[in-house]
Amino acid sequence: MTADVSPTAPAQATNSVAVTGGGQADSGDSFNDPTTIIQLADMTVSASSLPRVPGGIKGLIWTITAKNVGAAATTAPVTVTATLTTGATATAITGSGWNCTLSTLTCTRSDTLAASATYPAIAVRLSYDLSPGSVVQTATVSGGGEVNTANDTVSLTVTVVPPVTMFIPNPAATVPAGSAANYLLFITSFLPGSVHFSCNNLPQGAACGFSSQDLLSPAFTSVNLTITTNGSGVAATRLPGSNRQFQLYATLLPVIGLAGIVTGMRKRKSARWAVRLGTVTAIMLVAGCGGHSAPPAVVTPAGTYTITVVANNAAANTQASKNVTLIVR
């Protein structure tokens, strides 16, 4: 009879055999064989959990730990290997007593590890891409003289979330022209840097403002957005004609008037000439030098508008944007 010994078999086992039949009267035909099973090391690996990380983060530490769960000490070198899928990049891998290589993400050591003991942890420094998605990180241990390889691998799926997120619970508002619409923004920013807020696609006569124009992150907070509209505008009527022409006339007329006065004095009619030319000069000056008020404020037209709200972290080169609806009546 040939038997296989389980990698997790105890140190002692008893094999028994018995024979019966043949018409014998003796029922004690059995034999016990106490067996000593040579114990081996059994390496296993564990890793720290990183369920969600912000895209663009750099220098995040992922720790890997190798342990001997067998009943005997290791008898051969031990190797730990890390594997990353697209979206994560290792920038360093170190561990006390380990000989690590960054290019292959492997660490090895040859010192003996006693049963139930653990090696010092390995730290893998990681950077994640900006794009949200998933990254699979795997750690595997081998060697040590083990024969049980069923518990040598641990795999972790990391969800990469946007580094800046914006949530607007009530993204639509209706106001009459001349009133203000208010929106509440919930902002989450993971990466260091300043988050700057702005609006795009505002209608004529409208402006937007924020309770905090710039937000220092990391942060989880709320920001109030106010979009103001304009409901009135008054303008003075400009006299017809070209400004340049009238300004030229206004400049020349005093000269002409002076010449006329001199001529009129010769004819002893200076008073009459002065009154006539002064009147004409005044009219031309008013027409050419600003017979109008400043341009009126632009009234916000009635309608439905889609406005884009942007939260930008320039230092991290990332931003989040959401649309709000403004209905002007």
Is pTM beyond 0.75 here? no
Mean of pLDDT values over 298-325: 95
Residue 242 clears pLDDT 80, i.e. is over it = no
Nearest to 240 by CA among 273, 287, 293, 299: 287
Are 319 and 186 in a shared domain?
A: yes
Are 86 and 140 in a shared domain?
A: yes
Per-residue confidence (pLDDT) for residue 261, from 0 to 100: 46
- 197-240 confidence digits (pLDDT tens): 999 999 999 999 999 999 998 899 999 999 999 997 543 334 44
- 30-42 confidence digits (pLDDT tens): 778 887 777 689 9
**What does each C-alpha distance from 108 to 73, 97, 120, 137, 252 come to in angstroms?**
16, 9, 12, 19, 96
Last residue of a domain, one of 104, 134, 161: 161
- 53-80 confidence digits (pLDDT tens): 999 999 999 999 999 999 999 999 999 9
Mean of pLDDT values over 105-109: 98
Domain for residue 29, yes or no?
A: no
- Name the more confident of 29 and 130: 130
Structural domain that includes position 52: 43-161
Total number of domains in the chain:
3
CATH number of the domain bearing residue 93: 2.60.40.1530
How are beta strands 99-101 and 78-84 bridged, if at all?
A: unpaired
Per-residue confidence (pLDDT) for residue 6, from 0 to 100: 73
- 136-161 confidence digits (pLDDT tens): 999 999 999 999 999 999 999 999 99
Per-residue confidence (pLDDT) for residue 139, from 0 to 100: 98
Are 157 and 104 in a shared domain?
A: yes
The two three-digit tokens of residue 316, written as one number: 């991290």
Are 57 and 174 in a shared domain?
A: no
Are 63 and 50 in a shared domain?
A: yes
Contact 187, 221 (CB under 8 A): yes
Are 132 and 156 in a shared domain?
A: yes
3-state secondary structure of 64: strand
Per-residue confidence (pLDDT) for residue 241, from 0 to 100: 43
Are 169 and 278 in a shared domain?
A: no
Domain for residue 3, yes or no?
A: no
**Cα-Cα-Cα-Cα dihedral of 139, 104, 69, 37, to 10°?**
130
Contact 87, 130 (CB under 8 A): no
Are 139 and 257 in a shared domain?
A: no
